[in-house]
Amino acid sequence: MFLHAGRHQLDLSSPVIMGILNTTPDSFSDGGDCYQGDRLDLDLALARARQMLHDGAVIIDVGGESTRPGAKPVSRQQELDRVVPVVEALVRECDALVSVDTSDPVVMSEAARVGASMINDVRGLQREGALAAAAATGLPVCLMHMQGEPDVMQANPRYGDILAEVEVFLTARIEAAQAAGISSDLLLLDPGFGFGKTLAHNLVLLQQLPQLAAKGYPLLVGLSRKSLLGALLGRDVSERLAGSLALALLAADRGAAIIRVHDVAATADVLAVRSAVMAAGQDH
Ligand code: 9MG
């Protein structure tokens, strides 16, 4: 199955890796990777993206606003200043499939203008103007579920039936996107692991991921280094590689099409082993 993403055709017949490139000075676990002191450094951003592409990433997700629990919003201008030059440089220098991680309609339009091939919106195109802006780009869009906003979302997340509520929300956002003129074959869904969810909520969602996959839209998941691993294993963010790899494998086995990660090389090894096992014996 192929996803038409700008100039790229993305083969989703087996799970692919989306590498995380945060252009924030303060992100969840990799903040400041692209900074020289307090200055965003395009060469550092390019070097990190090139390494991820070399290691097996197929998509680079560029974000300029931290969405970690407790993060404060940034201004539109700050987001534009961080994201647009990086997207432009990546497209020019690496011809990479670049996704823009934003909820802001102007950032979506500007990123598309300089060559982004996909939109990743953790707020599911709910901001004013986002539906129209995303539709005008003609790019695929990932619609993610989040309860609350990053600054307060982990305070006291509550659900009756987590899967049902995530599904109802995503169905409503699919309908809104279609009504705005976004074709169904450009939509991806994401249950939003860690976004207004307790450890128990995240585990149930992962276990029941096949039910979300059955809706027929490609699933994008982000579990890499998240605080659910801190809660489950008592590990600091720098010690969550093994847990992240286990979650990536479990998600792939449950139907995830795109896996958003920090540790690209290790995740690529895990997915390569998985494909070899799945292919074994098929021609015998
Ligand atoms: C930007 N961002 C951080 N975590 C994410 C996740 O789990 N999914 C998506 N789509 N984006 C995310």
The per-residue DSSP string of 194-215 comes to TSS--HHHHHHHHHTHHHHHTT
Signed CA dihedral, 93, 88, 22, 226: sign only: negative
Banded model confidence at residue 149, pLDDT cuts 50, 70, 90: confident
Summarised one tens digit per residue, pLDDT across range 118-134 is: 999 999 999 999 999 99
- Alpha-carbon distance of 170 to 214, in angstroms, equals 13
The mean pLDDT of 21-47, rounded to a whole number, is 83
Summarised one tens digit per residue, pLDDT across range 211-269 is: 999 999 999 999 999 999 999 999 999 999 999 999 999 999 999 999 999 999 999 99
CA torsion, points 193, 194, 200, 201, in degrees to nearest 10? Answer: -60
Answer yes or no: is the C-beta of 190 below 6 A from any ligand 1 atom: yes
Answer yes or no: is the C-beta of 206 below 6 A from any ligand 1 atom: no
- What token pair was written down for 265? 């090389």
- Alpha-carbon distance of 32 to 174, in angstroms, equals 34
For ligand 1, atom 5, which residue shows the shortest CA distance? 222
Answer yes or no: is the C-beta of 121 below 6 A from any ligand 1 atom: no
